[in-house]
Structure 1
Amino acid sequence: MSPDDCLDLPHAAPVAPPTVAVTVRERAARMLSAAGEPSRLALLELLDGRELCVSDLVALTGDPMPTISQRLRLLKTEGLLRSRRDGKHVFYTLADAHVRELLTNILRHAAEPLG
């Protein structure tokens, strides 16, 4: 049986083309890629529900400031974080409730057993 044979079976639903615009899908892929590295994912977790500055994140992670700054820049560029300046400090937090839900759901899903 070839994959095409399944389309002729009574249980097969009509196959609809994707409904999301290519540009939206590409942006979503970039966002997932940005969040898809463990150290960047850890930053997102740390910023869930609170604002922290770079020096706070350096203290919490033990990673050097340039490394943290680079990770934050990528996450912000892809729309996962927002920032605000207060004097010499820049504070970061999750961009919005969508990012919080995505983070919560992916971590919950990853904690489930495979299979």
Structure 2
Amino acid sequence: MAIEEYSRWSRKFEDWMMAFAFPSWKSLKNGYDNGNKNGEALTSSDEIDSFVAEQKCVALLFQSVWEDIISLIDYSNAKDLWNKLRAKCLGSEEIVKNKRKLLRKELIFLDV
């Protein structure tokens, strides 16, 4: 994925995750807050499953995004990486709103 392709790519990525890696998709949406980065201290099967889903999600993101984009992002979990990737590719909410306003003005100008 290149920065210009983010809007189309993100929807496809989420749909694919929901279909083929649902626990990882849940990690993407809800975040991982167990705090054990290495997984060695985990004991229950639920903790281990959650940790594995988180790691798979991060790995899938790393495989799907150009290295020069993702290497610039400092993240704490998959959800944080997802949100920062969105901000990097689209800009802040204010920038997105301004882009929409500009596009509307251009469309109105073209209709005249």
- Asked whether the two chains share a fold, i.e. TM above 0.5, the reply is no
Normalised by the size of structure 1, how large is the TM-score? 0.33
The structure carrying a bigger helix percent of its residues is 2
The structure carrying a bigger strand percent of its residues is 1
**Larger Rg, first or second structure (1 or 2):** 1
